[in-house]
Chain A
């Protein structure tokens, strides 16, 4: 019996080689052994040897190609299953591993992804073929229905499989899709929770989708295939056409099928290589430009929702359709319309029963196809032309590349997953935090993406503490511009005046050395080589910082006072930046003189109440210093050894020391506090003989104790004292016109005119000081005015209606108003004009009060205290 079957099957076989008979004998023995135990071979042979009754042709190619593609999916899917790990911290990471680290992994994943798309297309085309070839009615209705079901299951496989990569696009589009379930009345919310495994997407969503994909949908597809094969085979057997061509299934039909399989693989291959042809992915590893792309890992933060999320090609038409409906009607395009369409699709065999039913079906499918095609085309065209969409795509691509760069860094992917890499990356997070917290006031003019504000009210931060930035700060033409202090309260302060009047007069190489030394304090990674090379210059600069008396106001290592001006020790270093961001009012930074910068971590013990987390502060500090991982860079260890920002915050808290005692409300106490806080005491001592002097360690301006009293004026006009330490001795006016006059001409004049007149002059001046404000010119006696003429004061000074301007106005000299005006702006023509050296203008602008160092009330408090005017008593 078996012999007869063998000869039937081998009826047209030709021996292929001399070994042929031996092979056939071995084969015969093996098949006999199997047949004796399983008995299935005859039916298998009958299957292979059966004639192809409807003739060789198209109809068998479709299911064959579908079977082939399914087997490809099973093979590649199984191997992928060996690498895939479905959890929110490991899904993306395991896919990344396959794509980039496994030999041929990109090909494996690429085949699986694109063969899935091909499977959807094949089942769709097969259904269309059945419709067009009129093979869906009568006893073939089950063939048709099973084909439709296969199509739906293949779509389900695509939907569930897509999410498994857990990247931005698949997460976002899956979330949107599953959220559609909420549109259904009554059961919507519960259905969402069942599908998502909870109230939100997470670990359990992945496990559910994975279980559905592998455990339910894939086996269902196989079952449907088998059922379809039975039903189609039965239909074919019954409708066998004996007149058709006498080909057999094996090998004739099978040869055609194999060619179809090859075509499928070629198509898949082209899809895999498409990005290489268009240069899409970018990167040097095969996984970067071959196969399926992998976006950045999914971020559950709604603020980071991927704006360019789109469904796959098969759902584009439906997506565009749903965009045409307003929000409250979304249930129509998502459930109602597709539901109606699917009902029709399943009813198609019944429709064919009517007269012209087949024609109706053809037209309906044509309309459906054209509609889907048009809607899809519109959707693609819209995205292509949309600048926002392209920008979101580019942003996603940037993040994807960055995370893969970080994954390749020596630190690798931590247990927290690749998302934590992005969240801890200063290059990614810096601009984000900067935009939210810093860019309101500061510009960050980076060529790679600037953060700018219309009205910067704080210094430019790009390149902070670098040599170029410092060169700009020390440039007298730039320090008072909007780029640095121009729009701040320090615009007319001590530092600006110092740069304009003193620093600009240093030698160029001295300036360069100081800048290099300051910049070296920051230990910027981009400047490391330069700092190492310029060690000598930096050493010199550090000596100059002390010699040129920066340390008069700033502490620098062991030199200088604390509390007057920002500490320059470690200026611009990570720790320093963390400190200034946490609290610029810290005594080591701006203290009570701080302008408008908020304290971002005021409450170390109460994290919820702070503007920023310690981690974000650390990231901002890293970002401003350009300290992040780059593949070509060398210093990765620097970042890894970073102190915890919370610890650094604690250190700064300890450095704060005890809070200073509060200042009493009395005007004198307030004035003394201001005198120290606003730097007056740095240059001007205050010796008033009552025992509570305010001592200046390095006075460079007149002592203000008893200013404009008779005793003070007498001492001022004394040739032995004017150039002494109490008056002009330590200032630039020591060799000036006034000192020269007092030592020279004034003595002669006193000799000529008389000591009594001289005393009257002094008394007149002291009387001016006791006024509250300059008097009416008519109220001054003519004799008094002539005194000033006789002693030639009016050759330089103005006194009421006499004299010229060019030296400080003596009208109301020393009165409260005069002092208030002087403090407000000593650079006014009325006072020192351009001869002013280093003294700030404490209140220059009425229209922009934020640029003033002192308020009008504070000026009055100081002026009242300094002036001998009787109202102050």
Chain B
């Protein structure tokens, strides 16, 4: 096929260029808008879980002072609260546990039982008067400090705000913290 003359190619080219630009623009803009609706809606819905925060710890009443041993032995107490799972609400379910320990007249200390290493539950060893995590043999003293020189746990056991109200009620601000970090960071 002969190539067309340069002249006959110039004007159709320019006109074609304008029409082509308009066509491209229309195709991209209209197509983009049309697809944007389902795409963006889908994205928003996919990312919806980011909106959810686990509740910032509030003070809850966990026990009465006189049920705790007076000699300062730690007592594991279950934390019970309402739990939401998508559309279901489960009232009064266990959501965690704390060690409560009397440290003086009307004084109380609370430790989260979750080991900061990998999340196992720490237990109280009465014979050796320490707290011990069976998963990777981490030991802590009764106030939560690591006992081993090279403890598997990156930090001490997590303390929780605890106070005695009305003379006899033990209130604790229950929270969970990230495992595996040297800093005590609340779970989002």
A261 to B27, CA, bound (A): 10
- Seen from chain A, the residues whose Cβ lies within 8 Å of a Cβ on chain B are 12-14, 16, 68, 71-72, 75-76, 78-80, 82-83, 90, 93-94, 96-98, 101-105, 107-108, 111, 115, 250-252, 254-255, 257-259, 261-262, 264-265, 268-269, 407, 411-415
**Are the CB atoms of A104 and B44 closer together than 8 Å?**
yes
**Residues of chain A with a CB closer than 8 A to B21's CB:** 14, 16
**Are the CB atoms of B86 and A97 closer together than 8 Å?**
yes
How many whole Å from A174's CB to the nearest CB in chain B? Answer: 22
| B7-22 near A? 1/0 per residue, CB < 8 Å | 0000001001111111
**Are the CB atoms of B88 and A255 closer together than 8 Å?**
no
Nearest to B22 among chain A residues (CB) is: A255
Residue tally, chain B, CB below 8 Å to A: 37
30 A-B residue contacts at CB 8 Å? A12-B20, A13-B17, A13-B20, A14-B21, A16-B21, A68-B35, A71-B35, A76-B42, A78-B42, A80-B45, A98-B45, A102-B48, A103-B45, A103-B47, A104-B45, A105-B48, A111-B37, A111-B38, A252-B23, A254-B23, A254-B27, A255-B27, A258-B26, A258-B29, A258-B30, A261-B30, A269-B37, A411-B89, A412-B84, A414-B88
- The secondary-structure label for the interface of chain B is helix
**Residues of chain B with a CB closer than 8 A to A250's CB:** 27
A83 to B41, CA, bound (A): 14
Instruction: Say whether B46 faces chain A, with CB atoms less than 8 Å apart.
Output: yes
Known: A254-B23, A258-B27. A79 touches B89 (CB 8 A): no
**Are the CB atoms of B20 and A251 closer together than 8 Å?**
yes
**Are the CB atoms of A93 and B44 closer together than 8 Å?**
no
Residue of B23, B42, B51, B86 touching A251 (CB-CB under 8 A): B23
A264 to B34, CA, bound (A): 8
Known: A97-B86, A255-B30. A76 touches B38 (CB 8 A): yes
A250 to B19, CA, bound (A): 12
Residue of A102, A262, A412 touching B89 (CB-CB under 8 A): A412
Nearest to A268 among chain B residues (CB) is: B37
How many whole Å from A729's CB to the nearest CB in chain B? Answer: 60
**Residues of chain A with a CB closer than 8 A to B20's CB:** 12-14, 251
**Are the CB atoms of B24 and A93 closer together than 8 Å?**
no
Residue of B19, B30, B45, B91 touching A259 (CB-CB under 8 A): B30
Nearest to A56 among chain B residues (CB) is: B23
A93 to B87, CA, bound (A): 6
**Are the CB atoms of B34 and A258 closer together than 8 Å?**
yes
Instruction: Say whether B33 faces chain A, with CB atoms less than 8 Å apart.
Output: yes
| B44-70 near A? 1/0 per residue, CB < 8 Å | 111110010000000000000000000
**Are the CB atoms of B87 and A96 closer together than 8 Å?**
yes
Instruction: Say whether B6 faces chain A, with CB atoms less than 8 Å apart.
Output: no
**Are the CB atoms of B33 and A265 closer together than 8 Å?**
yes
| B127-159 near A? 1/0 per residue, CB < 8 Å | 000000000000000000000000000000000
**Residues of chain B with a CB closer than 8 A to A16's CB:** 21
**Residues of chain B with a CB closer than 8 A to A72's CB:** 35, 37-38
A392 to B10, CA, bound (A): 72
Residue with the highest number of chain B CB atoms closer than 10 Å, among A12, A96, A102, A103: A12
| B101-132 near A? 1/0 per residue, CB < 8 Å | 00000000000000000000000000000000
Residue of A13, A105, A257, A261 touching B45 (CB-CB under 8 A): A105
**Are the CB atoms of B91 and A411 closer together than 8 Å?**
yes
**Residues of chain A with a CB closer than 8 A to B47's CB:** 103
Nearest to A259 among chain B residues (CB) is: B30
**Residues of chain A with a CB closer than 8 A to B24's CB:** 251, 255
**Residues of chain A with a CB closer than 8 A to B30's CB:** 255, 258-259, 261-262
Known: A259-B30, A264-B34. A413 touches B87 (CB 8 A): yes
**Are the CB atoms of A14 and B17 closer together than 8 Å?**
yes
Known: A108-B42, A415-B90. A254 touches B31 (CB 8 A): yes
A259 to B39, CA, bound (A): 17
**Are the CB atoms of B88 and A412 closer together than 8 Å?**
yes
